[in-house]
Amino acid sequence: MCSPIKLKHNQYGYISWCSECNNINIAFHTILFSLNTSQFENFSSILNNDVNNTEKCNQNTEKSFLYNTDSLNVNIILNYIELVQLAELVADSLLLYRSLQLIKEISQNI
């Protein structure tokens, strides 16, 4: 049975990780989806790339950032503000996830 560890929580959502099944759950606004750890790292890179490569003139409230999911006919669409919110939530969670992985690895080698 899963025992998720909450990596990050804020007013926009939360991200948790289950060390048993190694899945990451992302709840953001009204969206809830799961990724494996590899997908999570890739998703973080994609979000950061989009934030860093968006020109200031395109930073409006129009929903113009589309992300596919593994679910058939289910996509995530965000405006720039939501993109930044999600990217920050994911980046903070990824740092904590990597830290927990290092601690786990070190404890197994003791």
Mind listing the pLDDT tens digit for each residue in 52-89? 998 765 667 889 899 998 888 889 999 999 999 999 99
CB 25 within 8 A of CB 36: no
pTM of the entire predicted model: 0.89
CB 89 within 8 A of CB 98: no
For residue 59, what pLDDT is reported? Answer: 66
CB 45 within 8 A of CB 31: no
What is the average per-residue pLDDT within 28-33?
94
For residue 33, what pLDDT is reported? Answer: 93
Say yes or no to pLDDT of 46 above 80: yes
**Rounded Cα gap, residues 39 and 44, in angstroms:** 9
21: enclosing H helix or E strand: none
